[in-house]
Chain A
Amino acid sequence: MSAGRCGRATPPRGPQTLYYKLEVTEDLDAAGAPPVEPPPAPPEPPLWSPAEAVAAQSLIAAARELSADPASFAQQLLLMMTGEAVSQDAEFLFRASHNTSTAELALRLFATAGIPARMVRGIYLADRLYNVDPAELVEIWDGRQWLAVDPRDASLGVPDDFFVWQRGGVSLLDVVGGRQSRVRFSVLANDLSAKAVALQAANSERVALVDFSIYSLPIDKQTTFKILLLVPIGALVVAVFRILVGIKTSGTFMPVLIALAFIHTRLLPGILILVTLLAAGLWVRFYLSKLDLLMVARLAAVVITVVLLMAGFSILSYKLGLEEVLTITFFPMIIIAWTIERLSITWEEDGPREVFTQGLGSLFVAVVAYLVMTNRYVEHLTYNFPETLLIVMGLVLVLGQYTGYRLTELRRFRFLIET
């Protein structure tokens, strides 16, 4: 559990928001039963107005007639208060006590009937639930144990996806020196491998071996590591394409870095952003080459241009409502600047054709590297078994010994074998 606190010497003014974050994992083996507790004292009967008292008694009598024990009584009572067949008495009671939830009214009725009952607050765990009030259940004492009843449909037991936050009717939040406080819940689902959960559990108990694995890192650092572990895979893809296929790329491992950026931007927006950046950068670079600048100054000018372009694209596209373009910042700008520099030198020395060959070659290798690196199996294997990198290492060493033809050489030398 991680929690943030706002603590200051002077009390803050104006609206204040405090966030608490809690990560929970579902444990299907653990029973959802509440801990064993001593039997509660018989409840104090609540106060009703005379008319309400009559309606409450009639409702209780009707429920008693149809039930055999406290559990079935609670179900019958709740059935009369919810669903399509709401009894007139229940309707009257709801109207008389405005703003009362079913659970609160049911608690008063149980107290009147002499059955110990209490409020259970919690959250239904569903993905993307934002700013909701806590949900309510009612628990009654059937003489031996507490039994949960869902006021929505009168079903017995705690629902599977219900996360119990609090038992008993005490307040959720106590505020001193403030007013109009509210508690809101938001829920986000996140899939974790069973192994990760088991390791987290083991970790919290400080199992020595687990303490030295990747899983001992904080979750957000693990994500960084997950991406780092994919870099060797990208390097392998580059090695295959350069040694076996013979595709020319601009800069040896530039495609790997571009593929890493694609992971954040996603493929199609990434390609569009990259091509636009390179084209605009080259255009500015051609102007710079007319100025005959010293190389370091020229490179610095290209870096500034790239940063300006990134900022310009971000703002423009944000105004246009294209939020994908904001991920532009994931492109490594120094690498982009170097690529622009190298491509423009290639343009001057070997002509535009060569620039397109190298540019398209780099892009192609980057896309393939991206597809391999985001493959679910590859991701799973490298993350859970980092030792697979030794296999990658072996493959790279084998590739380094390859003396056969590259695929593109079959084309290059094709005229030498025609008779």
Chain B
Amino acid sequence: MATLLRFNPFTTVRRLKERGILGMNARNVAYIARYNPRRFYPLVDDKLKTKEAARRHGIRVPELYGVIRYTGDLAGLPALLEPLEGFAVKPLRGSGGKGIIIISGRTGRDFVKPSGKVVTLADIRHDIANILSGVYSLGGRPDTAVIEQLVRGLPYLLEYSFEGLPDIRVIVFKGFPVMAMMRCPTRRSDGKANLHQGAVGVGIDICSGRAIRAVQKDYLVSRHPDTGREFSDLAVPQWNEILLLAAKCYEMTGLGYLGCDFVVDEQRGPMILELNARPGLAIQIANGIGLRRRLELVERLGTVELHPEERVALIRERLAVERL
């Protein structure tokens, strides 16, 4: 009640402006509509196109083992899976993680799921046939099954997660990484890296790669609610590598306002999982910092042609100086 009485929309608006908080309308009109040309969207909306473009630009992505478009392609499945130790099968147009098959190991001719359950080649074949018929696709159209390398999370980062892999979201504006956060799945979020469902969002300092603060559903937390690991000493490994890959995505996509999602593989290091042309605003809450002034800082830097390495160095230097 007391907070309700103290609520004054005009002072709230003024203080949000002072802190440089970016609102949804401003994001849509001033950034997405202005900096993201519609014709570049298909590249980020189609996972296969993203993968192909990333490969051409030397950006690491989970390796593509095979694509199965038609039921006829299933004949080649045994030969395709034969040499693979672990892999993931995903519907290309799936949503909400439905229809994803994860195989983490082998036992003889059969396959082992992370839960320890053993499945046969015929089982996998049946699941892929389901994917092709469009059972998991949103439009109900026939879909494509993508078989790719299984990402094995870095054990250090897995300490900050319940079940799923934690991922790292970096907002890249005109090629400059301006803000970052790590999304840690929890029991409450059902093992998904979805802040809305209760995953923990950890703001990551662009300059150092260290945690700033951690937020779960509007509340500050100091430890992971399920693993109990302290967030305060979290430092994302290979941070400069992540920033560099993020910066390169600008040349790759042509999108001025972009969200890049990374995972860090045990052996192969950071790789791009997904790109997003309409990244959300929750990253501001995880960092406790508004996006607006950082975006304006980049706009002030002008349109000088810089290499990704130069951009990363420049933004780290400027952010360290201006403390935005």
- Do A and B interact? yes
Interface residues of A (CB under 8 A from B): 243, 246, 292, 294-296, 298-299, 345, 348-351, 354, 400-407, 409-410, 412-417
Task: Known contacts A349-B95, A350-B197, A351-B197; decide if A406 and B25 are in contact (CB<8 Å).
Answer: yes
Contact indicator B16/A405 (Cβ below 8 Å): yes
With a cutoff of 8 Å between Cβ atoms, the chain A residues found around residue B24 in the complex are 246, 406, 409
CA distance A246 to B26 in the complex (A): 13
Contact indicator A416/B135 (Cβ below 8 Å): no
CA distance A243 to B27 in the complex (A): 12
Interface residues of B (CB under 8 A from A): 9, 12-13, 15-16, 19, 21, 23-26, 29-30, 95-96, 98, 130, 133-135, 137-140, 196-197, 215, 218, 284-285, 288, 290
Please list 25 pairs of residues, one from A and one from B, whose beta carbons are closer than 8 Å in the complex, sorted by A's number: A243-B25, A294-B140, A295-B139, A295-B140, A345-B138, A348-B98, A350-B196, A403-B23, A403-B26, A403-B29, A404-B23, A404-B25, A406-B24, A406-B25, A409-B24, A410-B9, A410-B12, A410-B16, A412-B285, A413-B16, A414-B12, A415-B285, A416-B284, A416-B290, A417-B21
A298 CB to closest chain B CB (Å) equals 8
Q: Which of A345, A400, A406 contacts B23 (CB 8 A)?
A: A406
Contact indicator A295/B134 (Cβ below 8 Å): yes
A358 CB to closest chain B CB (Å) equals 13
With a cutoff of 8 Å between Cβ atoms, the chain A residues found around residue B9 in the complex are 407, 410
B214 CB to closest chain A CB (Å) equals 13
Q: Which of B13, B133, B285 contacts A410 (CB 8 A)?
A: B13
CA distance A409 to B134 in the complex (A): 37
Nearest neighbor of B198 in chain A, beta-carbon distance: A351
With a cutoff of 8 Å between Cβ atoms, the chain A residues found around residue B25 in the complex are 243, 402-406
Contact indicator B19/A417 (Cβ below 8 Å): yes
B171 CB to closest chain A CB (Å) equals 16
Name 10 extra pairs, CB < 8 A, besides A413-B284, A416-B288: A292-B130, A294-B134, A354-B196, A401-B29, A405-B23, A405-B25, A406-B25, A409-B24, A413-B285, A415-B285
Contact indicator B135/A294 (Cβ below 8 Å): yes
Contact indicator A295/B96 (Cβ below 8 Å): no
CA distance A401 to B26 in the complex (A): 9
CA distance A402 to B285 in the complex (A): 23
Nearest neighbor of B20 in chain A, beta-carbon distance: A416
A252 CB to closest chain B CB (Å) equals 14
A57 CB to closest chain B CB (Å) equals 92
With a cutoff of 8 Å between Cβ atoms, the chain B residues found around residue A401 in the complex are 29
A344 CB to closest chain B CB (Å) equals 12
With a cutoff of 8 Å between Cβ atoms, the chain B residues found around residue A351 in the complex are 197
With a cutoff of 8 Å between Cβ atoms, the chain A residues found around residue B13 in the complex are 404-405, 410
Q: Which of A349, A404, A416 contacts B285 (CB 8 A)?
A: A416
Nearest neighbor of A414 in chain B, beta-carbon distance: B12
With a cutoff of 8 Å between Cβ atoms, the chain A residues found around residue B21 in the complex are 405, 409, 413, 416-417
Task: Known contacts A403-B23, A413-B21; decide if A294 and B12 are in contact (CB<8 Å).
Answer: no
